[in-house]
Structure 1
Amino acid sequence: MTTKQPEFTLSRPGALIAALPAILGFVPESSLVLVSVDGGELGSVLRVDLSEELADSIGHLADVAAAATPEKAIAVIVDAHGACCPVCNDEHRRLIAILEHELSRNDIGLLSAHVVDEVAPGGRWHCADGCGAGGTVDDPAASPLAAAAVLEGRQLYRRRSDLQAVIAPDDAARSAAVAAAIDDAAADRAAAAAGDARGLARRDVEQAVAAIVAMAVGRMPGGTELARLGASLSDVLVRDTLCALAISEHSGAAEMLWSTLARSLPEPWRAEALVLVAFSAYARGDGPLAGVSLDAALRSVPRHRMAGLLDTALQSGLRPDRIRGLADTGYRLARQLGVRLPQRQELGRRAGGDSAA
């Protein structure tokens, strides 16, 4: 996702590497990170896991980077064994050579490539092509981008797995109760929709709003209510209307409900909740959470239209304010349904993101 860079320079590898946790939302490990540069400024940032298959997928990584049409890019390989392993260094040079070729195919020049053992104060980096340059990593907590992330209220995670835990199933008993009830909830909706589909959508939106208002004061929904809410999200009109809540005065409670549903609903029902988590996170500038939510949604429903569109927007560096129009559409849909939603709340422009190819 595209980021702004307060008092930040790309000319010092130790500072650039230290900024990665603030950009990605977590500390990268065993990763290839590609930082796009346009007009001398930091642009979209992509991260993929190091793996034996990575060389075969670098072309796709370059294609995703090209969506934002950057002029240049910088590569960072994070590998705990890279600093002292000749075989690893050979592999790193091979990966960078493939990356440089694929980037050039997209008219993107590779400015530099660095290998670092860990993204932590005192971590050691060196240039991937064996030029002899090297040094230590600055303190990530002292990075200007980290300070900006804290001021914007974004949470930084120690590992990507900690970020993924926000949406991962966590309560077996609750999940079992929801799974047992959701088929009945879906059948009840189907029967009601046959009589008055718009009336049902209006009722579903009102119930979701009521659940969000209740969560705002600390009341958590039970398994039956979660099943009913989850079943209602299969109605595109309901889901798109509820997108409005991402810019409402209850946006935090709404995102909490979507996250609870994502952790509680069985497949493939949870895909819609994951899309709402992703949209809410994206709208407030939390690219990392949006990215992992979209990744999970597309694993659940690979051809999910809205998840695919949001994923493309996120990976191409489209700023949050550009996608908030869907939230405005949600308010328009609510008026057509005759539903009064919580009041709009102005959102500041926030930055940061992890776009995994």
Structure 2
Amino acid sequence: MTHLHATITFADEGDFVAAVPSLLGFHPVDSIVVLAVVDDGPRCRIGQLMRSDLRLPGDDLFMARYLSQTCAQNGGSRVFVLITGGGSERLPQSDFVDLVRAAFDEEGVSVELAVWARSARAGEKWWCYDDPERCGEVPDPDIAPVAAALTVAGLVKYPTREALAATLAPDPPDDIRRRSVLIDARLQAEFRNGQAGECDPEAFSRDWALVDAALDDFTRSTEDLSGRGSEPLWEDERIVGLAVALCHSDVRSECLKVALSARAPAAVRLWTRLTRSTPAPERAQPAVLLAIGAYLRGDGPLAHIALDVAMEANPGHALASLLRAAIGHAIAPTELREIITRASQYSTRTVAAP
């Protein structure tokens, strides 16, 4: 689920189809995509974007109601619906689209248009469910106005959801195993010294200095190469130190504050790097921070994938479970930001100025 605050114009159904890959961050396959609009007129302010795999026929009613209720709860007044794939014949999934339309009608939300295409790639044919004779070609998604706007905002498009998930694939197994041994030894030593969970002031200052320096590295690398993916190279010792630092609740609380600051883009890149570099179960900590940072900037697909990684690394991670439930109920990024702001006010830790 993605929340965006952008204004775009759709000249026809083809423009809508072409916008979807950039809005999602990847090309949807065998999917239903619902774009909610929160104002009237030809210029549509996007309130919410939802995507789901096409389900088996027995799940159609559940999915239709879930989409419509979620949209209504978040203030959507009308929606655009896209079906990709789902069959080789023209306008497949017609019965499902009828269920979706009826479910939105029950919630007082109108379906502005419903369109089908085999894919959202340039040159594909689109067809309209409301007028089976109405059709056209999908423009090139890479040069659609929304693609340029979202690229400037820092959101990258991938060919598939799997390609997006691959950006969080772990480092080579030998590297992960070696770091796991080092992290276990470090955490066991802390446990023997009574430092597990939350640091004493001296340990906190040391651990936060590690995180702070790493954020500086990623801020500089982003500035030097205009955010094109340059990353500082680190040895195991630094990765292990950061992984252990994020095991401490007071350090993580400080990291949440960073998500609300000008350093948020650098933080997303740092958490991405640590999600790839850190073994389970500690991998869950940067993955959750990445999910928060991604969701706050409107990147719902990456947030979902990061939460999947966190839950796989540590199925009992409380914050990951809470965040997954919140995102599943389409919490607005502004509301999540307010929650983090209020929570940070309870933190009594003061970070000393360098």
After TM superposition, the score normalised by the length of structure 2 is 0.80
What amino acid sits opposite 2:157 in the alignment? L
Aligned to 1:296: 309
Aligned to 2:15: 15
Tell me by how many angstroms 1:211 deviates: 3.4
How far apart in 1 are the matches of 2:181 and 2:138? 51
* Residue 45 (structure 1) aligned with residue 49 (structure 2): yes
What amino acid sits opposite 2:39 in the alignment? G
Counting only pairs closer than 5 Å after superposition, residues 163-174 of structure 1 correspond to structure 2 as: 163-174=164-175
Q: How many residues align?
A: 334
* Aligned residues of 2:33 and 2:81 also touching (Cα < 8 A): yes
Tell me by how many angstroms 1:293 deviates: 1.5
Unpaired segments of 5 or more residues in structure 1?
342-357
What amino acid sits opposite 2:306 in the alignment? S
* 1:98–1:266 CA distance, 2 compared to 1 (3 A): farther
Aligned to 1:345: none
* Aligned residues of 2:4 and 2:298 also touching (Cα < 8 A): no
* Residue 316 (structure 1) aligned with residue 326 (structure 2): no
What amino acid sits opposite 1:134 in the alignment? C
Tell me by how many angstroms 1:340 deviates: 3.4
What amino acid sits opposite 1:69 in the alignment? G
How far apart in 2 are the matches of 1:192 and 1:327? 33
* Aligned residues of 1:93 and 1:129 also touching (Cα < 8 A): no
* Residue 326 (structure 1) aligned with residue 340 (structure 2): yes
* 1:184–1:262 CA distance, 2 compared to 1 (3 A): same
Tell me by how many angstroms 1:129 deviates: 5.6
Aligned CA-pair RMSD: 3.3
Unpaired segments of 5 or more residues in structure 2?
222-230
Aligned to 1:349: none
Secondary structure of the structure 2 residue equivalent to 1:337: coil
* Aligned residues of 1:27 and 1:119 also touching (Cα < 8 A): yes
Aligned to 1:72: 78
How far apart in 1 are the matches of 2:285 and 2:306? 10
* 1:144–1:234 CA distance, 2 compared to 1 (3 A): same
How far apart in 2 are the matches of 1:95 and 1:305? 36
How far apart in 1 are the matches of 2:27 and 2:329? 19
How far apart in 2 are the matches of 1:308 and 1:64? 19
How far apart in 2 are the matches of 1:105 and 1:235? 47
Aligned to 1:282: 295
Aligned to 1:55: 60
Tell me by how many angstroms 1:219 deviates: 4.5
How far apart in 2 are the matches of 1:57 and 1:231? 42
Tell me by how many angstroms 1:20 deviates: 0.6
* Aligned residues of 2:210 and 2:241 also touching (Cα < 8 A): no
Q: Point out the more displaced range, 13-22 or 142-151.
A: 142-151
Secondary structure of the structure 1 residue equivalent to 2:111: strand
How far apart in 1 are the matches of 2:321 and 2:106? 25
How far apart in 1 are the matches of 2:335 and 2:154? 17
Secondary structure of the structure 1 residue equivalent to 2:37: strand
* 1:133–1:107 CA distance, 2 compared to 1 (3 A): same
How far apart in 2 are the matches of 1:290 and 1:208? 21
After TM superposition, the score normalised by the length of structure 1 is 0.79
How far apart in 2 are the matches of 1:190 and 1:173? 26
Tell me by how many angstroms 1:131 deviates: 3.5
Deviations 1:91-111 (A, max 9, x none): x01221332343344433333
Q: Point out the more displaced range, 231-240 or 313-322.
A: 313-322
Query: Pick from 219, 242, 249: which aligns with 1:236?
Result: 249
* 1:315–1:222 CA distance, 2 compared to 1 (3 A): farther
Secondary structure of the structure 2 residue equivalent to 1:187: helix
* 1:331–1:259 CA distance, 2 compared to 1 (3 A): farther
Q: Point out the more displaced range, 95-104 or 67-76.
A: 95-104
What amino acid sits opposite 2:247 in the alignment? S
Tell me by how many angstroms 1:279 deviates: 2.4
